[in-house]
Amino acid sequence: QGYNGTGNVLTDSNATTITITSVNDSPVIGAISDQATNQGTITSSISFTITDAESGVLTVSCSSSDAAIVSSTSFDIGQTGANSYTTSISAAGTASVSMTIMPSATGTGVATITAMVTDSSGVTATSQFDLTVYDIPTVSWASATQTITETSTTLSIPLNLSAASGQPVSVSYTITGTATSGDDYSYTTTSITIPAGDLEYSVSVTINNNNTFEGDETIILMSLTLLL
């Protein structure tokens, strides 16, 4: 009919421990936009960020796809004057990094730059961007001579660059001739800035009708000086 007796209840227990081992997360380097400059002309400051989930030391270095355009010695990272920059960050911390690049004085074209961040365990992350290096342009007036009547108001004088520049180009010039500034003509500046990538620009000179017979007179724009 069933068991009506009494007895001891036997129990047993056992435990197991699970250890979760931490994994070294890869560092992260921010995106870097494409850049442009001229031969032998240092770039503007290029800024980006690096971060890591763990605290520790991060090292940044760069490489180029074309050493004839950008060599390993072209980089100045973190104002160290070298192609290496090291910084310490806290866990989940972020550091801002800036660098400049001095391309070759002779090479032109596009070099793909790889910026790499390495943590203290040797784990890396990379970010790539293109650096376009242009020929250093020359500048000249589009025409050697122009003629305008005294009754006209504004003379637009075009000048040309021989090639597009990767950076804005500043051009200065002087104005001479037999015409008298302020009486026969006027102008507002003797320097202009041509935006990066543009090939043409125009200088404006206002012609004044002073109602005085003086015969033909000249305005000579000369001594073009190009500053990058």
Domains of the chain: 28-134 (2.60.40.10), 139-227 (2.60.40.2030)
Residue 2 pLDDT greater than 60, yes or no: no
CB atoms within 10 A of CB 175: 16
Given a contact cutoff of 8 angstroms between Cβ atoms, the answer to whether 64 and 71 are in contact is yes
Torsion, Cα of 72, 76, 78, 80 (10° steps): 100
Instruction: Round the average pLDDT of the chain to a whole number and report it.
Output: 88
Residue 175 pLDDT greater than 90, yes or no: no
Better-predicted residue by pLDDT, 8 or 172: 172
Query: What are the distances in angstroms from CA 169 to CA 4, 12, 185, 224, 226?
Result: 106, 86, 26, 12, 7
Cα–Cα dist 130/24, whole Å: 30
**The predicted structure's pLDDT at residue 228:** 58
Nearest to 124, CA basis, from 52, 63, 74? 52
Cα–Cα dist 130/109, whole Å: 10
Confidence of residue 184 (pLDDT cuts 50, 70, 90): confident
**The predicted structure's pLDDT at residue 196:** 87
Confidence of residue 146 (pLDDT cuts 50, 70, 90): confident
Residue 13 pLDDT greater than 90, yes or no: no
pLDDT tens digit sequence for 55-113: 999 999 999 999 999 999 999 999 999 999 999 999 899 999 999 999 999 999 999 99
Torsion, Cα of 118, 86, 130, 227 (10° steps): 180
Torsion sign across C-alpha atoms 38, 39, 44, 49: positive
Residue 209 pLDDT greater than 70, yes or no: yes
**Helix, strand, coil fractions of the chain, as percent rounded to 5:** 0, 45, 55
Residue 1 pLDDT greater than 60, yes or no: no
Confidence of residue 47 (pLDDT cuts 50, 70, 90): very high
Cα–Cα dist 83/18, whole Å: 44
Q: Please compute, for residue 117, the number of CA atoms within 13 A of its CA located in the half-sphere on the CB side.
A: 26
CA-atom Rg of the chain in angstroms: 34
Opening angle at CA 203, ends 200 and 208, nearest 5: 155
Confidence of residue 142 (pLDDT cuts 50, 70, 90): confident
Confidence of residue 51 (pLDDT cuts 50, 70, 90): very high
